Structure 1
Amino acid sequence: MRTERFAPSPTGPLHLGHAFSALTAWDHARASGGQFLLRIEDIDQSRARPEWEARILDDLHWLGIDWPEPVLRQSTRLPAYRAALADLWARGLIFACSCNRRDIAAALSAPQEGAEIPMGPDGPIYPGTCRAQGRGPDLPFPPEGVALRLDMARAVGTLRGPLSFDETGEPGQGRVALDPARLLAEVGDVVLARRDMGTSYHLAVVLDDAFQGVTHVTRGRDLFEATQIHVVLQSLLDLPTPVYHHHRLIRDAAGKRLAKRDDARAIAKYRAEGASPADIRAMVGL
């Protein structure tokens, strides 16, 4: 059975972009006779708020979307994330990193000040500063006060055969093959556990999709490049790879994609002005 999910973070209001993603996943699930799941991505407890979660649930119900209870919350899944990290640590595939953003920027811009910093789907491509000394039998797991990064070179070296995923969305339908050389040069050693969270988006989303039996992932085009990170993790952790559908982004009049701070396009604002769920569908082109 096809299983779709929508996984908002309770750090702000739902806007038109969220509505488009949720409705697209909902429509896909209903058209195939499948199921739609809701997951609350609240690993960032410094920003997650119960009042935002309540508003998200209310807006989704108003749009005509429903889901089975109970809703999965990432904050209840920390033991599962830690177990996966312990496995990767024992296999020598992750390392401790004490670098902050300024350290990384300085390393990437040397020796030429003002040089353009190479960017990947997880931000600046890590220069490898802590890779050699960030692991070893004398370093206990989990090390405290540091981030944990995937050693992409070692990960690529352990991959069993070529990796790929099926894409049905905007970037082009068909099988997308992962290029090991590109993983090293354009993705690098991504963070799998932030020092203040115990996990990261990449690790949590992969483990949670597998835990919930998600077969199809519908999300924005801006996450297409990150999918290669997720496929690598799925292979390393022996998890299934869903079918991905990356859809177009909803943008403002200036062409900028909507973000949580775009309260002017919050669903609650349109509701207060008398819009109907059908109006919201029309606004996002559904």
Structure 2
Amino acid sequence: MATPATVTRFAPSPNGLLHLGHAYSAIVAHDRAMRDGGTFLLRIEDIDGARSRPELADDFRRDLEWLGLEWEDVPAQSTRLESYEKAAETLLNEGLLFPCTCTRSEIEAMDPRIGPDGFVYPGSCKGQLLDPAKPAALRLDMEKALDRAGEIIWEDELAGVMIADPREFGDVVMVRKDAPASYHLAATLDDAADGVTIVTRGGDLFHASHIHRILQQLLDLPVPTWLHHPILLDEGGKKLAKSRNSPSLTDRREAGEDGQLLAEQLRLQNFPAGISLEKA
């Protein structure tokens, strides 16, 4: 049987300009695909309500071209809402989702434990029936999901084989009150639809892959390999972030900086140990 062609993706959200951390993530995904003569995709994750600024997608493309990367566009998330609705309906009909009307402040007031994403929902709405008149998120009943999925594994090219166990996240949101899908559900469905074979992203999302692997099992989706690369830090040792106004690629590009030279510097200084992007 022929080995599937390598397909990777870079999937930024248009709620702010790209910075060096995004550049590095895009380069890792691009070069990992190019090593195998594969395909590098650009997907715009634009379902974050009022925070999404559609005009930024073209800035992202100009930035990637400036870095010397080649890619193929795939449909943005805003065109895929029906697929998210169908998946949520499937999980709901199977008794794996339940409505939750709790606000973040209400959950915090319950003195919950802390997980990888912050406060872990304590399950106070379990057993509640869906009321169309009340805004509610839909949460995955994690214990039921794990019982249904059984023991499953996933593989990261750096960390090796992992047993999927997302219990530390608790009953995670699959459909938000203010959006048609959570990151977990949308990204998992999109990667399957786009034929992604290696999910490349920052190590800060490593634990989220336990959730995504469970969803693949529950929804009978293909299973990729993962490559979680180190994240870039600023001079203070903090993750580069749009919210902290990290210098943008657009500003660097418009100031006349050499984007391809910058890309080469990122490749030389920060590439994940143990992974070679040179063609075999």
TM-score > 0.5, shorter chain as reference: yes
Residues 3 and 37 of structure 1 are in contact (CA less than 8 Å); yes or no, is this contact kept in structure 2? yes
2:176 pairs, out of 194, 197, 212, with 194
Match of 1:147 in 2: 137
Deviation at 1:122, TM superposition (A): 3.5
Spell out, residue by residue over 1:32-80, the C-alpha distance to the aligned partner (whole angstroms, 9 max, x if none). Answer: 01101110000113111122112111111111222234x3110111111
Residues 96 and 143 of structure 1 are in contact (CA less than 8 Å); yes or no, is this contact kept in structure 2? no
Deviation at 1:278, TM superposition (A): 3.1
**Unmatched runs of 5 consecutive residues or more in structure 1:** 110-116
Aligned pairs for 1:19-98 within 5 A: 19-69=23-73, 71-98=74-101
The number of residue pairs the alignment matches comes to 264
Distance 1:58 1:21, change over 3 A: same
Match of 1:218 in 2: 200
Match of 2:218 in 1: 236
2:18 pairs, out of 14, 21, 25, with 14
Deviation at 1:274, TM superposition (A): 2.7
Match of 2:276 in 1: none
Letter of the aligned partner of 1:152 in structure 2?
M
Residues 46 and 54 of structure 2 are in contact (CA less than 8 Å); yes or no, is this contact kept in structure 1? no
State how far apart, in whole Å, the 2-side matches of 1:214 and 1:121 are: 25
Match of 1:168 in 2: 157
State how far apart, in whole Å, the 2-side matches of 1:198 and 1:152 are: 20
State how far apart, in whole Å, the 2-side matches of 1:264 and 1:199 are: 28
TM score, norm. by length of structure 2: 0.89
Say what the alpha-carbon RMSD is for the aligned residues: 1.6
State how far apart, in whole Å, the 2-side matches of 1:204 and 1:26 are: 22
Match of 1:114 in 2: none
Deviation at 1:155, TM superposition (A): 0.7
Deviation at 1:163, TM superposition (A): 1.1
TM score, norm. by length of structure 1: 0.88
Deviation at 1:216, TM superposition (A): 0.3
Residues 29 and 40 of structure 2 are in contact (CA less than 8 Å); yes or no, is this contact kept in structure 1? yes
Residues 122 and 190 of structure 1 are in contact (CA less than 8 Å); yes or no, is this contact kept in structure 2? no
Deviation at 1:123, TM superposition (A): 3.0
Q: Are 1:127 and 2:122 an aligned pair? A: yes
Letter of the aligned partner of 1:22 in structure 2?
A
Percent identity at matched positions?
Answer: 47
Deviation at 1:144, TM superposition (A): 4.9
Deviation at 1:121, TM superposition (A): 3.1
Residues 10 and 50 of structure 1 are in contact (CA less than 8 Å); yes or no, is this contact kept in structure 2? yes
State how far apart, in whole Å, the 1-side matches of 2:89 and 2:57 are: 31
Aligned pairs for 1:109-124 within 5 A: 109=111, 117-124=112-119
State how far apart, in whole Å, the 2-side matches of 1:19 and 1:121 are: 24
